[in-house]
Amino acid sequence: MQQEVIVTTAVRDELGRILARHDVQKLLLVVDAAFPLLETREEYLDLPLPCAIFDAFTSNPLYEDVVAGVSCFRRQHCDAILAVGGGSAIDVAKCIKLYSGLDETRLYLDQEYRANDILLIAIPTTSGTGSESTRYAVIYHEGKKQSVTHGSIVPRYALLDPRNLVTLPLYQKKCTMLDALCQSIESWWSIHSTEASRAYARQALTLILAGMDDYLQNRDSGNLNMLRAANLAGRAINLTQTTAAHAMSYQITSLYGVPHGRAAFICLPFVWEYMWSCVAEDDGAGALRELFSDIAHALGHGDVAGAIRFLHALDGRLFAEDRLHFDAGDIPQLVASVNPTRLSNNPIALPEEVLTELYRAIVRKYS
């Protein structure tokens, strides 16, 4: 089913039309801890039908949280789900939709996923994950990250309202923006990239660079551009998945509490620098050199080396007051944490010894 992406500030009217079109009788509203701070929150609490609220989850939602959400959905006799929040809220809503069609007496993660007709609407309140337009969700079970993937969990509607970014803290705005930037670049060079995904990635990067200053200054135009960019980046990785920078980032978040988007961005220029060193003088790698050059031009630079320097400098510019301290003793743990499946999407292989050197370079910069 084709997703409909709607850019609007008339959310209540738009939702009213959608809910009437699908004859929804009762809605489960999935919201995160930031929901009470939204200037638009009353519009979601004043919809023309009964509504149950589910917010019992954290920023790294647990499997048990989703089980509770499924129980709430069934107990309240809901027939549709509206997610208003960041990536975690949308991921929880996706899993509630998926698991509500499965056997509640068995572990949902062990069952074969299948599509159902529960309507899912997503309204992002951050501009980074693009989760409102992907078939992926992340939850944690017994301390381990679980990637839930199924085509049916792409929300039927994604509503992009720039007003939802007004109250987002500046640090979080920076980190989520960098997630969108990383997704754009990684999807572009992923081995699964397509003409369509590269077009999404190019548009996303163009919007990020053009709107960055206005977005960080909390102007309406910048917020709208960044929402669009994050959505386009999400649509790109929905086709390709992410690559090494994301794969290397998760344990940095776990060990040091670095927000996901910034953790991925920390890794990105080091990964690109290594890959460029592999192909710059390789006569047989002309296609990959050209692809890297295209990305560099999209970033506003005439050569790859200049684009990589720009990414290194951007981290320093955005986080000049924020000092990170990584420990060289954690490098073996960092290397062991990298998911080989996600790593396999990379256009250049990164064996264990290369990962070790990349993490050493990161630790040197942030210690």
Q: Given pLDDT bands bounded at 50, 70 and 90, which one contains residue 1?
A: low
* Overall number of domains in the chain: 2
Residues of the chain with pLDDT > 90, as a percent, come to 90
CB-CB neighbours of 367 under 10 Å: 11
Of 165, 182, 207, which residue constitutes the final position of a domain? Answer: 165
Q: Given pLDDT bands bounded at 50, 70 and 90, which one contains residue 282?
A: confident
Are residue 183 and residue 151 in the same domain, yes or no? no
CA distance linking residue 34 with residue 59, whole number of Å: 11
The CATH number that applies at residue 235 is 1.20.1090.10
Of 140, 165, 190, which residue constitutes the final position of a domain? Answer: 165
pTM: 0.94
Are residue 91 and residue 112 in the same domain, yes or no? yes
Are residue 254 and residue 189 in the same domain, yes or no? yes
pLDDT at 367 over 90: no
**How does pLDDT run across 126-152, given as a tens digit for each residue?**
998 999 999 999 999 998 888 899 999
**How does pLDDT run across 7-40, given as a tens digit for each residue?**
999 999 999 999 999 999 999 999 999 999 999 9
Q: Which domain holds residue 231?
A: 170-365
Burial class (CB in 10 A: 0-12, 13-18, 19+), 249: buried
Residue-averaged pLDDT of the chain: 95
Contact (Cβ atoms closer than 8 angstroms) between residue 212 and residue 177: yes
DSSP state of 36: G
Q: Given pLDDT bands bounded at 50, 70 and 90, which one contains residue 342?
A: confident
E strands along 33-130, which residues?
A: 51-54, 80-85, 119-124
* Structure confidence at residue 284 (pLDDT): 80
Contact (Cβ atoms closer than 8 angstroms) between residue 45 and residue 74: no
Are residue 65 and residue 213 in the same domain, yes or no? no
pLDDT at 307 over 70: yes
